[in-house]
Structure formats: C-alpha cells, structure tokens
C-alpha cells in the first residue's frame, strides 16, 4: 500500500467545493493509499473553517464539514514526535515549522506530502526533499469518492 501525507490545504479541498477539489478528493477514494497526517491537521482544518465562519458561512454547516472530515481514514501521528525533525527541516529549507511537520512525517514514512500549498510546494521542490512533495493535481483521479460531495450551499 502506498503512503501519502496530506496537509490542511488538501483537507480543505475535500471539505469546500472548488475547481480543484477533484484531485484532492481522489486521495480519499484511492483504496490503495494509506493517508497519513500529523495531529496538527485537526487544528489547522478547524481554524480554516473558522475563517469561513468569519466570512459569513453558517456555523452548523462548518461543524458538519468538520464531522465529515472525521470520516476520512487518516493515520494520525502526534506532532510532538515530529517536531525535532521538523525544526531541523525548517532551518535547512527556511520554511515554517508548521509545514515542516508534514514534511518530517513524509520523510519518516518514506512518503510524499500531497499539497495545494503553493508556497510550501515551491520551497520543498527546490530542496533535497523534492521526492517528498507532490502537487495535488499530479495525483490521478478515480471515478468515485468516499466522503460526501460538498455543495456550494454547504459553505
């Protein structure tokens, strides 16, 4: 089974409809991939949903989206197990520790971070860790998904 680390930028594409949601949702639908993330993803996703709430989205819909996210079969690693490696990576590639926690997990599990975070992608792709990052559009899309398709009315 292949391993992939997903970050909050991918999670939000699962939860909020958009033009590039299909490639992110392909990860959930792929039965041949084990999805990994640090526990940091929960607070990052909740914070992103909060921002939608500040912009006027209905709170119950945002809570429902977070509940939908709980159905994604993620293998969670505690961030405190990754933070030493993440700091070393952050210092090496000059990028925030928060993002490097995902990269540290990818390096540790011989996986790659699938991301829609352009800034992170651009930094990592130019580093010696290039094999540990993939732009979300590069992931092949299967025909079906396992979490409910959000509609524009959901957010």
pLDDT at 1 (0 to 100): 54
CA gap 155, 141 in Å, rounded? 23
Q: Is residue 86 very low, low, confident or very high in pLDDT (cuts 50, 70, 90)?
A: very high
Confirm if 36 and 3 have CB atoms less than 8 A apart.
yes
pLDDT at 153 (0 to 100): 54
CA gap 26, 62 in Å, rounded? 22
Confirm if 37 and 76 have CB atoms less than 8 A apart.
yes
DSSP code, position 16: S
Strand order in the sheet with 33-38: 74-77, 33-38, 2-6, 112-115, 133-135
CA gap 102, 41 in Å, rounded? 9
CB atoms within 10 A of CB 90: 19
Helix (H) or strand (E) holding 3: strand 2-6
pLDDT at 123 (0 to 100): 98
pTM as predicted: 0.86
DSSP code, position 71: T
Domains identified in the chain and CATH numbers: 2-137 (3.40.50.1010)
The pLDDT tens digits of the residues spanning 71-80 come to 889 999 999 9
Confirm if 79 and 43 have CB atoms less than 8 A apart.
no
Helix (H) or strand (E) holding 103: helix 97-108
Evaluate if residue 143 carries a pLDDT over 60. no
The pLDDT tens digits of the residues spanning 27-64 come to 777 778 899 999 999 999 999 999 999 999 899 999 99
């Amino acid at each position: 089974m292949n391993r992939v680390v997903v970050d909050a930028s991918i999670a939000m594409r699962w939860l909020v409809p958009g033009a590039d949601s299909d490639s992110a949702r392909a990860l959930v639908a792929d039965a041949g991939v084990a999805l990994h993330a640090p526990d940091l993803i929960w607070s990052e996703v909740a914070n992103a949903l909060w921002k939608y709430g500040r912009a006027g989205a209905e709170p119950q819909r945002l809570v429902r989206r977070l509940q939908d996210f709980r159905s994604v079969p993620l293998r969670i690693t505690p961030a405190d197990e990754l933070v030493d490696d993440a700091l070393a990576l952050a210092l090496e590639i000059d990028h925030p520790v928060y993002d490097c926690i995902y990269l540290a997990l990818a390096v540790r599990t011989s996986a790659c971070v699938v991301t829609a975070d352009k800034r992170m992608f651009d930094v990592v792709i130019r580093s010696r860790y290039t094999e540990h990052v993939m732009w979300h559009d590069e992931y092949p899309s299967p025909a079906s998904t396992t979490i409910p398709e959000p509609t524009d009315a959901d957010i």
